[in-house]
Amino acid sequence: MMLDEQQLQKLLRIKRFEQPPPGYFDRALIEFHRRQREELLRRSATLIWWERFVSGLGNFRVPSYAYGAAFGAFVVVATIVGSGLWAPYQDATDLSANRVVLSGPEAREVAVNRLALSGNLDWSTFDHTASSPKVVPVVRPSQTALPRYVLDGRPVSYEASFSF
Amino acid sequence: MEEQNLPDDETLVRRTQNGETRAFDLLWQKYSPRIYSLIYNMTANHEDSNDLLLEVFAKAYRSINGFRGKSSFYTWIHAIAVNMTINFVKKRGRRFQLSLDDLDTNVQNDKELIDLAATNSPIREVDLSELQQRLNEAMMKLSVEHRAVVTMFDIQGMPHAEIAKILGIPEATVRSRLFYAHRQLQNYLEEFRKK
Amino acid sequence: MVEIFGRRPIRRLGAEALKAGVIFFLFSASRLFAQQGLNSISTEVTRVFDQAKNAVVRIHAEDEHGRLAGTGFFIDPAGTIVTAYEVGGESWDLIVEFGSNRYPAQRLVADPRSGIALLKVSADTPWLSTGDSDELKLASPVVTIGYPMDLSITPSFGMIGGFDLKYLNQYFSTTLIRVNIAAQRGEAGSPVLNLKGEVVGILIFPIDNRTACYALPIKAAEKVRTDYVRFGEVRPGWVGVSVIEGDEPVHNSTAVIQSFAEGSPAIDSGLQQGDVLLRIGTVEIRSPPDVVNASFFLTAEQDVPITVLRDGKEITVTVTAADHPGIVQQKFPLFAPATLENALRTRDRE
């Protein structure tokens, strides 16, 4: 007697119950994050941005005249910059960073004032002896949102089986 | 899994595209069990499934900015998973091990399963774990493309149309693959019964 | 007759009254003692909390998901902090908040195997003394102190529910303490204190919908700290012995040596296939899973005595453990100067 279609389907449905152990998906998510972090460290942020940008571009169809227009714009900008009519980035250097790199005592004063406004850092305990420049954490605007309150993680064993 | 309160996929995708990584975690929460099951039933190996699951989601995360909602996220992530698994299985060739020892104990107590093994099944003498193993071996004898269709239709219960979209093939092809795969499975299991 | 019959009930009545009196006395006494017992537990717990709370800190940091917050505590007066790996192991911009101050912190060491990280602030700090986690017993009362969510410092009281090496079929790296305390988010890294006010564990992760949690015994954290103090890093050791379950226990142990890894220190150690393991370092071995626990406490380049039973005789050999081949090369996040130093040191050593 042959297994009929219905019996086969019933048998296959049983395979739904083959599931990984409880908690697996939460642990796998942690592992996923870990690998993402590793990847992040391997490749620079710019590269990722570029990759995302390019994959985003994949969905556009660029009309052919756009290439011409872009080239035209490039020529105009190049001419202006090249002729020295306008030089960007001369006085805007310290506006962009949200991490402040300091070296001298005056600079530290600036940072302390800034921290007095935003955070509550106690500078008396900060190690000033290390070589400059220092990277100073500054409380950023995004920090008004709630942080992620941590209660997670699991020690990992290095043992594949019962060995030492 | 707290699925009941999850925002819809479209919102989650948009939020991920805007750089909110937690939104992607929610997509993980929603889809990782399904995707795992899909991969696992195509590879029959938990370790490989674990690796592939992570790779599939990594790839989805990397390319989510290119996702413009022409298909649903559901279809999109399933398509990534099926394609990556097919490539993996083809590369792996015949070197693989079935890893079925850690079956959920629920399986052993499932009513439907016990009924099937005990009543008018042609394979009632077989104990449940042997039945499972036999079925998996039969599955692994199918080509990976056929296995994908059987997994999505019979195990995951997707409609033909959805499978067609995921695989990018006509619905008629899905039906014919299913028909052929079922016949093959029936033959393999019949051989086993005779032994 | 009447008198006799009449007296008896009276005498009986007296006896009944006496009995009732005694019962009442015993009952109220027990109530009183119980009340006193409760009072004294309450006093103890309050005392432990008051004593320890100043050494418990809230830790703020940032990782790739954004800002995070957890708990930690000082273990010496020089500002060394123990916290959970998830809080301080891979994050950056670490800020430690205690009292009304916030201090930038450095990461000294991060150890995923034990699930903890050590941080440091440059300040004189209060600290918690460490207790003996081996002395804990089932049902020992414990207090945890942490910072759940954005709430103020919070004590919890519970008891030891178990000592587990395995949970839902997964082995830990060492035996963890199961604490019957419902932990809340933000409390990872909280100290688990005995009623003497000593730290006996570090809260690592919750189980079963946060109805209970696992804590790393302080002994395991001390191994990490000692390694750091001695070598500037954690040095898991390895001998290279595989163990299987024997048929019958011999001297209470079923752990039988099965094989030696190629190129491992075990090869010329004098250990033999078929030896029954009794002790590795200070860890008693009763069954194969015990070696996982023993393995945690091995230190690379350190001698470890191993006692086995061969032909009915106990033999102890000393083996110098090697670097654990399973150790994952740490990837250090940016802006964590202390660990970058460590990373460089590790690199130089190779």
Query: Which pLDDT tens digit goes with each residue over B106-141?
Result: 444 445 555 555 444 444 445 666 766 778 888 888
Q: Are C206 and C183 in contact (CB under 8 A)?
A: yes
Instruction: Find the closest chain A residue to B62 by CA distance.
Output: A52
Under 8 Å CB pairs connecting chains A and C tally to: 166
Give chain B positions within 8 Å (CB) of C169: 102
Say how many Å lie between the first and final Cα of chain A, rounded: 54
**B102: which chain C residues are within 8 Å (Cβ-Cβ)?**
169
Residue C304 is which amino acid?
V
Residue A140: pLDDT above 70?
no
Mutation target among B21, B24, B25, B104 for the C interface, most CBs of C within 10 A: B21
Q: What is the pTM of this model?
A: 0.50
pLDDT at position B123:
45
Binding partners of B (≥3 Cβ pairs within 8 A):
A, C
Contact C119, C86 (CB under 8 A): no
User: What pairs with residue C253 in β-bridges?
Assistant: C250
Report the distance separating Cα A84 and Cα C44, nearest Å: 78
Alpha-carbon distance of A97 to C131, in angstroms, equals 46
What is d(CA C100, CA C77) in angstroms, rounded to the nearest whole number? 18
To the nearest whole number, what is the mean pLDDT of chain A?
Answer: 63
* Spatial distance between the Cα atoms of B107 and B134, rounded to a whole number of angstroms: 15
CB contact under 8 A, C205 and A150: no
- In this complex, do B21 and C65 lie within 8 Å of one another by their Cβ atoms? yes
CB contact under 8 A, A19 and B104: yes
| pLDDT tens digits, one per residue of B40-53 | 999 888 888 999 99
Residue B164 makes CB contacts below 8 A (sequence gap 6+) with B170, B171, B173, B174
**3 state SS of C175:** strand
CA separation for the pair A128, A117 (Å, rounded): 21
Give the CA distances from residue A128 to residues A82, A122, A133, B132, C80, in Å, rounded to whole numbers and listed in that order. 44, 12, 10, 66, 18
Q: What are the CA-CA distances from residue A21 to residues A24, A31, A159, C197 (Å)? A: 6, 16, 19, 38
Q: Which residues of B touch C65 (CB under 8 A)?
A: 21-22
Q: How far apart are CA C344 and CA C334, in angstroms?
A: 13
What's the average model confidence in pLDDT over B176-194?
81
The tens digit of pLDDT for each residue in B7-28 reads 889 999 999 988 888 899 999 9
Contact state of C187 with A164 under an 8 Å Cβ cutoff: no
pLDDT-wise least confident of A72-81, B161-170, C67-76: A72-81
Residues 248-277 of C with CB under 8 A from A: 255, 261
- Check A137 against C173: CB less than 8 A apart: no
Chain C residues in contact with A144 by the CB 8 A cut-off are: none
Six-digit token pair at B138? Answer: 């039969």
Locate the DSSP E strands across chain A.
100-102, 134-136, 148-149
Confidence of residue B93 (pLDDT cuts 50, 70, 90): low
Q: Is B183 left (phi over 0), alpha (psi -120 to 50) or beta?
A: alpha
Please, where are the H alpha helices in C53-180? Answer: 85-88
Residue in chain B closest to A18 (alpha carbons) equals: B103
pLDDT at B192: 66
Going by pLDDT thresholds of 50, 70 and 90, the confidence category of residue C164 is: very high
- Smallest CA-to-CA distance from B153 within B49, B82, B69, B55 is with B82
Phi, psi of C137 (to 5 degrees): -125, 165
- State yes or no: cis peptide before A133, omega within 30 of 0: yes
Cα dist from C74 to C54, C89, C118, C153, C334, whole Å: 9, 16, 10, 15, 24
The pair of three-digit structure tokens given for residue C300, joined into one six-digit string: 């690379």
CA C44/CA C39 separation, integer angstroms: 9
**DSSP assignment string, C34-84:** HHHHHHHHHHHHHHHHHHHGGGEEEEEEEETTEEEEEEEEE-STT-EEEEE
Is B177 within 8 Å of B145 (Cβ atoms)? yes
| Cβ separation C65–B22 shorter than 8 A | yes
